[in-house]
Amino acid sequence: MVLTEKTGGGSWREMKSFFLAVLSSRLFMAFATIIIMSANGSGYMFGLYSNDIKTTLGYDQTTLNLLSFFKDLGGNRGILSGLIYEVVPPWVVLSMGSVLNFFGYFMIWLSVTSRTAKPQVWQMCLYMWIAANSQSFPNTGALVTCVKNFPGSRGCVLGLLKGFIGLSGAIMTQYYHAFYRDDSKALILLLAWLPTIVPLIFLRTIRIMKVIRMVRELKIFHRFLYIALGLAGFIMVMIILQNRLSFNRTEYIGSASVVLILLLLPLVIVIKEDFNVSTSKTQASNTHSQLNVVIENPPAVPAKPAEATKEAFNCIKKMFKPPDRGEHYTILQAIFSIDMLILFIATACGTGGALTVIDNLGQLGKSLGYPTHSISAFLSLVSIWNFLGRVLAGYLSEIVLTKYNFPRPLMLTFVILLSCVGHLLIAFAVPNSLYFASVMTGFCLGAQLPLLCAIISELFGLKHYSTMYNVGSVSSPVGSYIFNVRVAGHLYDKEAVKQTEALGRTRKPGQDLSCSGAKCYRLAFLIITAATLFGSIVSLILVFRTRTFYKGDIFKKFKEEVVESQAGVAPTGNGGLSLREMEDNAIVTVPEKTALSDG
């Protein structure tokens, strides 16, 4: 690609050219991914409308927790979207996610508002699974693509984008109050149309680009982080004010408008950086500099039938003979590795308990006598601290790993261990414990997810990351089913039946089953605490297994591939600029359609 076109000046044609350059840039793609992620955390809002499902459809707590399990299963079972991503462009994955999201939540809304006949439990489970599974499509289509486009900053990218997913619950809550005030049934309708529309706006933007990493890359993501922290801080202030004061519709609209402005603020950074790129290109053009980066992809040679059979046999043969850590694993090699098994068990215990807290916040608040408006505050606190946990884990783990070779699995161990504190606060019903438990649970759950994703990318490579990323996430619904349905839901209903019988009442068919008092969840969360402690011990095993790997340079392979690509840069005609200066000014480019060989 030869950089000879001038992009300066004030003519309409040049302005149009610059505008199109911004829309096609890597940074705008990152901005688009942030916006998509900010509307992709509807799974964390289940507690806001779970009581509507329970009372309208007459469910007991076990049945309600079964629905939340299918929500967690759909939200984390993204293997299907990962496999689809392997063979189709990202825009197809995003489109499929939008269709599934609208169908799932719209059918739930029709059921809760009695616009259709009362569905069977299996039908509601199916609707919930489809609605939640739709979230894995933007996660795969947009987030995985962004990680592939910024592989040298994967920890920061994962922390930032996963952070916005966590923060999206609080963002969507502000929109919900602005559109529908306190109508929790209408919230389901909001979840049906808003997350459906947002990815469709950026279909042409989300794509894989092959580029050489810019020196300013981390600085730009740090600026995005500062804006995100400001957004989280503003929402936190709004939560406090909305709980102390009675907001009217206009005030809710005003706060939601500020949230939207802060969300769009990263676009200013994108335009500014792309303007600097445009200026650098103009200066290079004025000095008659031309920079050619040639990356040749040899044409694919169709495999002969005998060769295809031999390749399939070798794949099975190598399934239990994985390469060294950090190399590109096949999907089967990763699935059947001991490291993946350890990660699965540790995160099933860690995230399973945290998801149980989040999915039961509505019933926890009700059983412990908290006012109704506090439940919205709990969920917003979970969302904000979920965000903080994600970005802190992503950025901090990247810094300490780079500077001190501090292994990410050890940080994951500490986070899982810390979550035990929140579970114990709930188990012993400490006064105002749900506020602190919401903070602890949100932070620890948020921190675990980017650490898990980053560890998978480091141990197993990025070649099949879109699938392995979703394989690792399966641990969350497994833990959710065990702790949420089989433990918390079962013990809650058992205590509720005791209370009903003690009052001399009998439960009528179709009537919801309610429990009150600290006993409703005490035993359940003592069990969850013990299981979470076990998960931290299992995670510690991975720390010892990977200690040698993390002592070395885990990005060595990526750096070598960058050097190889730089070797194809023509050394002449660069106007006297060094390669580092060209990178710093972002004037080193390569063809966008070249697929990433290293993920």
Q: What is the pLDDT of residues 491-533, one digit of tens each?
A: 998 898 888 888 777 766 666 778 889 899 999 999 999 999 9
What pLDDT does residue 334 have?
81
What pLDDT does residue 295 have?
41
What pLDDT does residue 562 have?
47
Q: Of how many residues is the chain composed?
A: 599
Confidence band, pLDDT 50/70/90 cuts, at residue 595: very low
Mean pLDDT, residues 94-103: 95
What pLDDT does residue 85 have?
87
Tokens of 419: 């979550």
d(CA 426, CA 438): 10
Alpha-helical (H) ranges within 265-407 are 266-286, 305-317, 331-335, 338-359, 361-367, 372-404
In 3D space, the residue among 81, 175, 65 whose CA is nearest the CA of residue 128 turns out to be 65
Report the range of poorest mean pLDDT among 40-44, 64-68, 121-125, 273-277.
273-277
What pLDDT does residue 432 have?
84
196 burial (CB, 10 Å; 0-12 / 13-18 / 19+) is buried
What pLDDT does residue 537 have?
96
Asked whether the predicted pLDDT for residue 277 surpasses 60, the reply is yes
- Each residue's pLDDT tens digit, 62-86: 889 899 889 888 877 667 887 888 8
Q: What is the dihedral of CA 233, 234, 240, 242, to 10 degrees?
A: -160
What pLDDT does residue 587 have?
34
Confidence band, pLDDT 50/70/90 cuts, at residue 594: very low
Tokens of 212: 């050489």
What pLDDT does residue 296 have?
43
Determine, yes or no, domain membership for 496: yes
What pLDDT does residue 476 have?
85
Confidence band, pLDDT 50/70/90 cuts, at residue 311: low
Determine, yes or no, domain membership for 289: no
Q: What is the dihedral of CA 69, 70, 75, 79, to 10 degrees?
A: 120
What pLDDT does residue 319 have?
66
What pLDDT does residue 368 have?
87
Asked whether the predicted pLDDT for residue 410 surpasses 50, the reply is yes
Determine, yes or no, domain membership for 5: no
Cβ–Cβ < 8 Å for 124, 4: no
Coil, strand, or helix at residue 327? coil
Give CA separation, 7 vs 251, 309, 490, in Å: 43, 52, 65
Confidence band, pLDDT 50/70/90 cuts, at residue 581: very low
Determine, yes or no, domain membership for 314: no
Instruction: Give the rounded percent of residues in the chain with a pLDDT score beyond 90.
Output: 32
**Mean pLDDT over all residues of the chain?**
80
The sign of the CA dihedral 20, 24, 27, 32 is: positive
Asked whether the predicted pLDDT for residue 315 surpasses 60, the reply is no
Determine, yes or no, domain membership for 29: yes
Asked whether the predicted pLDDT for residue 248 surpasses 70, the reply is yes
Mean pLDDT, residues 38-44: 86
Q: Could you write out the DSSP letters of every residue in 49-113? A: HHHHHHHHHT--HHHHHHHHHHHHHHHH--HHHHHHHHHS-HHHHHHHHHHHHHHHHHHHHHHHT
What pLDDT does residue 565 have?
46
Structural domain harbouring 167: 23-278+334-465+476-505+512-554+570-584
* Residue 506: count of CB within 10 angstroms of its CB: 8
What pLDDT does residue 566 have?
47
Determine, yes or no, domain membership for 7: no
Asked whether the predicted pLDDT for residue 320 surpasses 70, the reply is no
Cβ–Cβ < 8 Å for 515, 563: no
Report the range of poorest mean pLDDT among 68-72, 117-121, 179-183, 208-212.
208-212
d(CA 437, CA 443): 10
What pLDDT does residue 307 have?
53
Confidence band, pLDDT 50/70/90 cuts, at residue 399: confident
What pLDDT does residue 294 have?
42
What pLDDT does residue 144 have?
85
What pLDDT does residue 9 have?
47
Determine, yes or no, domain membership for 238: yes
| CATH code for position 427 | 1.20.1250.20
What pLDDT does residue 553 have?
67
- Each residue's pLDDT tens digit, 174-203: 999 898 887 888 999 999 999 999 999 999
What pLDDT does residue 584 have?
37
Report the range of poorest mean pLDDT among 103-112, 276-285, 402-411, 548-557.
276-285
Q: What is the helix (H) or strand (E) element at residue 15, kind and residue range? A: helix 12-23
Report the range of poorest mean pLDDT among 29-38, 235-244, 300-309.
300-309
Answer left, alpha or beta for residue 303, where phi above 0 means left and psi between -120 and 50 means alpha.
Answer: beta
Determine, yes or no, domain membership for 283: no
What pLDDT does residue 290 have?
45
What pLDDT does residue 109 have?
95
Domain count, the chain: 1
What pLDDT does residue 314 have?
60
In 3D space, the residue among 324, 345, 326, 367 whose CA is nearest the CA of residue 496 turns out to be 367
What pLDDT does residue 120 have?
93
370 burial (CB, 10 Å; 0-12 / 13-18 / 19+) is middle
